[in-house]
A and B are shown apart, each in its own frame.
Chain A
């Protein structure tokens, strides 16, 4: 596989459930990101991991818990979410230290909270 892979592509969960989103990048990058995309709103940066270390937590509620076990994998653990958390969650990776800083995105996980 190439690029950035996210699973599952679609997830429906109740407010009391616990679920996880998974992201894997096959590009050899050293930074990974979680973004939230709601309808008609800009992408919101949630978390940044550089070299497996979390360097950004953009005031994200604690019901979202990221985990980065190595530079190729990133998880977003979800617990007691609210209906307003329904959105497209996008994972991205990049190579920090290059001149372009372009992000490579996965296809996203569409989350619906009932």
Chain B
């Protein structure tokens, strides 16, 4: 089964900078990869999906890349704000409608 690795250490950045989070997977390349945001004590919220034939996807200040050769996705937040502070989860389709999640990376944006 898939194993997903996300940085276990929190990422601390200054407001206005670009945050870059990494998601690496170990096995076959999935048909798509998703990113979710989770605030403390809340359920995850879907942000973006990128398919295996897409190199890059954008939504407002968010950008996701997908490199099937490196087995890696990068998640960028440009012009970061303190309100962007949260845990960001990467998820891959394993089969059918079964999603496998990474443990998430905590992002802290300081003003």
Chain A residues near B (Cβ < 8 Å) = 4, 31, 35, 40-43, 45, 48, 50, 55-56, 90, 92, 94, 96, 100-108, 110
Greatest chain A CB density within 10 A among B4, B44, B91 is at B44
Chief secondary structure at chain B's binding surface: strand
Given contacts A43-B101, A103-B36, A108-B41, 5 further A-B contacts (CB under 8 A): A42-B4, A42-B101, A45-B99, A103-B91, A110-B41
User: Of A43, A55, A101, A108, which contacts B32 at CB under 8 A?
Assistant: A101
- B95 to A: closest C-beta gap in Å: 10
1/0 per residue, CB under 8 A from A, across B82-111: the answer is 000000010101001111111110000000
A42 surroundings in chain B (CB, below 8 A) = 4, 100-104
How many A-B residue pairs have C-beta atoms within 8 angstroms? Tell me: 56
User: Of A40, A48, A104, A110, which contacts B46 at CB under 8 A?
Assistant: A104
Given A40-B103, A101-B93, A107-B43, does the pair A48, B98 have CB atoms closer than 8 Å?
yes
A96 to B99, CA, bound (A): 12
Pairs across A and B, CB under 8 Å, 6 listed: A42-B100, A96-B97, A102-B34, A105-B43, A108-B41, A108-B43
A110 to B99, CA, bound (A): 22
- Decide if A56 touches B101 in the complex (CB within 8 Å): no
Given A102-B46, A105-B43, does the pair A40, B98 have CB atoms closer than 8 Å?
no
A106 to B46, CA, bound (A): 12
- Decide if B89 touches A43 in the complex (CB within 8 Å): yes
A40 surroundings in chain B (CB, below 8 A) = 8, 103
- A51 to B: closest C-beta gap in Å: 11
- Decide if B98 touches A50 in the complex (CB within 8 Å): no
